[in-house]
Amino acid sequence: MDLSLALTFSQLNDNKTVVLTDTTTNWGSSTTNLTAGDTTVLGDFYEIAASTTDFTAAGIDAPDNNVGTRFVIGSAILLAGTDDLIPVTPALATEIDTLTLDTIVTGVSEVADTKDQVDLLTEFGAFATQADMVYNITALLLGDTSGSELEDGLYAFTYTVTYSGDGIVNTKTDILSTTILVYGQIKVTVYEKLRSISTLYMCKDSDFKEELSEADLCGAYLSSIEASAYVAKTEELLDMLVVLTNLVTNGSNITW
């Protein structure tokens, strides 16, 4: 039984922190018991409810045959007699061995940059409840300078949890891979352009101002990125970010 790992995210307005929140739906869960005639799944996590089989045998790898012992099974075995195993997931407060976040950032240079691994247990744990599983990921945690802003780009996260319960031999690993768009720096730049509209334009002003149209174009393009962020392919989002960055930096080639 695997963890249904899930994360939601938000980006703070100072563009120095991405907040990741664990929204996994099945911490500390169980499914239908396996009994005589059922076959275990290699590498899955089980709790012993009853035993005929010696679960401590080499290759099965339980530390004992006691009711309530939880372990990662070392082989697929056919249960017999009074065997009763409950497929379970770990209790987050007591059974997480490691919890890590790996990050690869691909910015407007379109070069992938592998960041420092974040040990979430060390930085944010231990977790008494799932409500504690909120991770403020800063540039410093990723290996950049303290206080620096997060680079604009695609952030490919790998969220990994390992656990073994009472076992002494095997561990189980569940992994979530997800990618988000971070665009705080370009958003601030575009907003600054949009805020300048009031100083560029007056209702009675008969002179056309190129800066006004450029600001409006950048704002529209930013809105299109935000609208596409949850549906577009990651490659397309990066292309859009590159285009907007070039537009803000160098202006458009449109003849107004």
Find out whether 179 and 234 touch, Cβ atoms under 8 Å: yes
* 235, pLDDT greater than 90: no
CA distance 220 to 150: 23
Residue 19's SS3 state is strand
> What stretch(es) of the chain map to CATH 2.60.40?
7-27+92-182
CA distance 154 to 20: 15
Tokens 């575009």 map to which residue? 190
Helix (H) or strand (E) holding 45: strand 45-50
Question: Beta-strand (E) ranges in 84-205?
Answer: 84-87, 96-107, 112-114, 118-119, 134-138, 153-163, 172-182
* 134, pLDDT greater than 80: yes
Residue 177's SS3 state is strand
pLDDT class of 190 with cuts at 50, 70, 90: confident
Reported as a single tens digit per residue, the pLDDT across 30-78 is 999 999 999 999 999 999 999 999 999 999 999 999 999 999 999 999 9
Helix 210-228 and helix 184-195: axis angle, to 10°?
140
Reported as a single tens digit per residue, the pLDDT across 15-43 is 899 999 999 999 999 999 999 999 999 99
Per-residue pLDDT, 232: 47
Per-residue pLDDT, 219: 77
The average confidence (pLDDT) of the chain is 87
* Domain 7-27+92-182 in CATH 1.10.10: no
C-alpha dihedral, 223 to 226 to 232 to 236, nearest 10°: 70
Reported as a single tens digit per residue, the pLDDT across 113-126 is 999 999 999 999 88
Residues 6+ apart with CB under 8 A from 20: 7, 8, 9, 101, 134, 135, 137, 157, 159
pLDDT class of 99 with cuts at 50, 70, 90: very high
Residues 6+ apart with CB under 8 A from 181: 153, 154, 155, 225, 229, 237, 241
Tokens 């379970």 map to which residue? 88
Lowest-confidence pick of 155-169, 184-198, 219-233? 219-233
pLDDT-above-90 percentage for the chain: 60
